Structure 1
Amino acid sequence: MSLLQLFGINLVNTRKFVWQAIFFLTLSVSLQAQPYATKYYDANGKEVVKEQAYYVAIGTIPGGKNYFVGKVVEKYVSNKKIKAKRTYDQTGKPTGVTTEYFENGQMKEKYQLKNGYVFGGYVSWYPNGQKELEREYTAYSNATEINHRTYNHWDSLGNQLAKDGTGALVEYHTDYTVAANGKIYKGNRSGTWKGYYPNGNTFYTEKYKNGELISGKSILTDSSEYSYTQINQLPAPKIGFAEYYKRLTKAMRYPKSAKKIGLQGTVHIAYTVSDSGQIADYYVLKSLSEDCDNEALRMFEEVPVEWIAGTSRGNPKSYILTLPVSFKL
């Protein structure tokens, strides 16, 4: 007599119960798991139909959403090799460590994102596998594009041009034409730097001291010259920020659900002002509650203003700005 029979347990019924338990557990897990989804993009990152895709992105899209959340793998259509490995937060914005690859399979870049910007260590490589540079990104500032320190830099043949923050540095456009070159000291730009358009024409000449821009002169796309002591000029409402904030405050309707529980705080909205002065995109960057988030977005949508486009070295440029909307009782 078996041990199961000794205790009056029917072996057939026991097996049936175990298989039922396994089936329902598997079903439960499968129902909770989100199915993988595929999106198609062209070389500029614009979503397109499958037949026009340069690369595909594969990941999880939560129910009722149209964006990825969690880990996503991108692959080139041409050879199925990995293009990038990314992570997206619950709002669909990129976060954490990102690794990018060239179409030949060689690693291209590895960096970390914080609040939508590169922050901390950054490493890049050439298409032949040779390391290009090692740098560190500091707190992002819209006032200048030089928000990093470069420590080591090599040319594509492996010759080290800068070591421990001192030496020569060459920066490239995406097609590997020269974008800028000059000297660095303690990781920062130093002395005279020259910048170039992708066609090789001179874009700017700048002078630096201890990493700070002293003066610059650019040749704009219309061939006119522009002198400056600050690289970037941020977009601004034509009525001014003070009047814009005043109108937003007047338009606020405090959500009843938040007022009922005494909820106070700030919703941060990120928005893009295009190089033509148009609002191109906006979303909640930092949430307070669903109703407060929706109210902040409603205010932003229903208080439209005309914008003065931002510039970089005198040329029009798109910028991502942040609008804090405070809820106080």
Structure 2
Amino acid sequence: MKTKLFAILFLLVSKLCIAQLSPNDKKIYLDSTWTETSQENSKYYRIVKDYYLDQKEYKVLVYYKNNQLKEESILNGKDGGSPNGEKLNYYENGNKQSVSTYVNGRPTGKSISWYENGNKREEGEYTGNYEIPGKHYRLIQYWDENNNHLIENGNGFYSCGDKASFLETGSYKDGYKDGVFEGKDFKLNAFYKEKYENGKFISGTRVFSDGTKTDYFEMEKRPFPKKGMQDFYTFIGKNFNYTNESFKNKVQGKIILNFVIDKEGQIVEPKILKGLGYGLDEEAVRVLLKYGDWIPGEQRGMKVRCSFSLPLALQAVR
């Protein structure tokens, strides 16, 4: 009995130690959209190790509100940035969700994921081939939620999804989609059928419950300014006005903005993920909303809302 009690106490102490802060660490509370918020309104919190030290990389830990570890990674910036090295994700019950390795912000090499009950979901590898959509990731092993081994050494019949969101079926050959894949999007009440050749997407058709039919030849299109990204960045730089307060206090640092490009190609829902104050945050939102139309993003031939993050490096010096 004493041994059992000691083990329980040890686990509790270990759990508390995970979230302890050193004087150089920073704790940030986040809501469900990963926007900085108060502790009362938070769903997660992030700890950036050695935040107040000048380093090339920072260890970042994200916790659920119940103090259970959700994510751990190494980023090249204290206020965000690209991951480098191993990245791990966990379910709220403590079970491991996924593990992968990043190099210069891109996943590279082997990747493993699990179901929430602890059963393995899939094993794959990131090939680094981003020139051909569908070839950057190779699926090697896959098990369904009942632990049936459906894809073995890259070959087999794939069935994935749930009744709440989607269901997709089709065959894999040598780790890539090959042939006809069929699926249903339960949220949109739509069916789709797509053709692949050795991982390369060829074409697709989506049919809604009312009979509306859409053919598409690209799986996904990212939103894009009508005049190009360089025009967007130039506009922000030319039209941003520093405040007198920022000059007086010689403010420098980075503002991180999050915004949405809606289905009409308009910038909506701007949020400050990291601000500098002195009126600069409000100015960042003002100049962002002043920019013109974008070409909206698409998924499976349908216009969709897409989220962006925009870092602004500022230095208020006359």
TM-score category, normalised to shorter length: 0.5 to 0.7
Q: Which one of the candidate residues 117, 129, 136 is aligned to 1:147?
A: 136
Amino acid at match of 1:111: S
Give the match for residue 173 of structure 2: 185
**Aligned 8 A contact 1:108 1:124 in 2:** yes
Instruction: State the AA in 1 paired with 2:113.
Output: S
* TM superposition score normalised by structure 2: 0.64
Task: Give the Cα separation in 1 of the matches to 2:51 and 2:113.
Answer: 32
> Could you tell me how far 1:179 is from its partner in structure 2?
4.3
Residue 319 of structure 1, CA deviation: 6.9
| Correspondent of 2:44 among 55, 58, 62 | 55
Which of 170, 181, 187 is the equivalent residue of 1:199? 187
Report what 1:76 is aligned to: 64
The equivalent residue for 2:77 is: 90
Residue 188 of structure 1: CA displacement? Answer: 0.6
Question: In structure 2, how many angstroms separate the alpha carbons of the residues matched to 1:314 and 1:200?
Answer: 13
Change over 3 Å in CA distance of 1:120–1:149 after alignment to 2: same
* Residues 177, 199 of structure 2: 8 Å contact kept: yes
- The alignment partner of 2:157 has SS state of strand
Equivalent position SS for 1:227:
strand
> How has the CA–CA distance of structure 1 residues 321 and 151 changed in structure 2, closer, same or farther, with 3 Å as cutoff?
farther
Structure 1 pair 236–84 and aligned structure 2 pair: CA distance change class (3 A): closer
Query: Which one has a bigger Cα radius of gyration?
Result: 1
Q: Match of 1:41?
A: 30
Question: 1:218: which partner in 2?
Answer: 206
For 1:192 and 1:114, the matched residues in 2 are separated by 33
| Alpha carbons of structure 1 residues 46 and 86: separation in structure 2 relative to 1, 3 Å | same
Residue aligning to 1:262: none
Q: 2:71 corresponds to which letter in structure 1? A: A
Instruction: From 137, 141, 148, give the equivalent of 1:159.
Output: 148
Q: 1:238 aligns with which of 226, 247, 268?
A: 226
CA change 1:243–1:62 in 2 (3 A) is: closer
What amino acid is aligned across from residue 194 of structure 1 in structure 2?
A: E
* Corresponding residue for residue 119 of structure 1: 108
Asked if structure 1 preserves the Cα contact closer than 8 Å seen for 2:181 and 2:194, the reply is: yes
Please give the root-mean-square deviation of Cα atoms over the aligned residues, in Å.
4.2
Secondary structure in 2 matching 1:195: strand
Q: 1:34 deviation in Å?
A: 5.6
CA contact (8 A) 2:261 2:294 kept: no
Give aligned-pair identity as a percent. Answer: 26
Call closer, same or farther: CA 1:39–1:170 in 2, change over 3 Å. Answer: farther
User: Which residue matches 2:303?
Assistant: 316
Q: In structure 2, do the counterparts of structure 1 residues 110 and 314 end up closer, same or farther at CA, with 3 Å as the change threshold?
A: same
- Aligned residue-pair number: 252
Q: Distance in 1 between matches of 2:24 and 2:230?
A: 47
**2:124 paired with 1:135:** yes
- 1:181 is aligned with what amino acid? T
Q: How does 1:242-253 map to 2 (within 5 A)?
A: 244=231
Unaligned runs of 5+ in 1: 1-32, 252-269, 283-296, 323-329
Contact 2:24 2:53 in 1 (8 A): no
One-letter amino acid of the counterpart of residue 27, structure 2: T
In structure 1, C-alpha distance between the alignment counterparts of 2:188 and 2:297, rounded to whole Å: 24
Look up the equivalent residue of 1:309 and give its one-letter code. P
Q: Which runs of 5+ in 2 are unaligned?
A: 1-21, 239-256, 273-283, 311-318
2:251 aligns with none
Check the 8 A contact 2:223/2:295 in 1, yes or no.
yes
Question: CA offsets, 1:58-109, max 9 Å, x none?
Answer: 22364499xx96112222223x221111222136214121101111111101
Q: Using the alignment, how far apart are the partners of 1:116 and 1:232 within structure 2?
A: 21
CA distance in 2, matches of 1:75, 1:189: 35
Aligned 8 A contact 1:123 1:135 in 2: yes
With over 3 angstroms needed to count, the CA separation of the structure-2 counterparts of 1:320 and 1:121, relative to structure 1, is farther
CA distance in 2, matches of 1:188, 1:217: 20
Question: In structure 2, do the counterparts of structure 1 residues 275 and 120 end up closer, same or farther at CA, with 3 Å as the change threshold?
Answer: farther
Change in 2 beyond 3 A, CA 1:179/1:40? farther
Paired with 2:171 and 2:299, the residues of 1 have a C-alpha distance of: 21
Contact kept in structure 1, 2:90 and 2:98, CA below 8 Å: yes
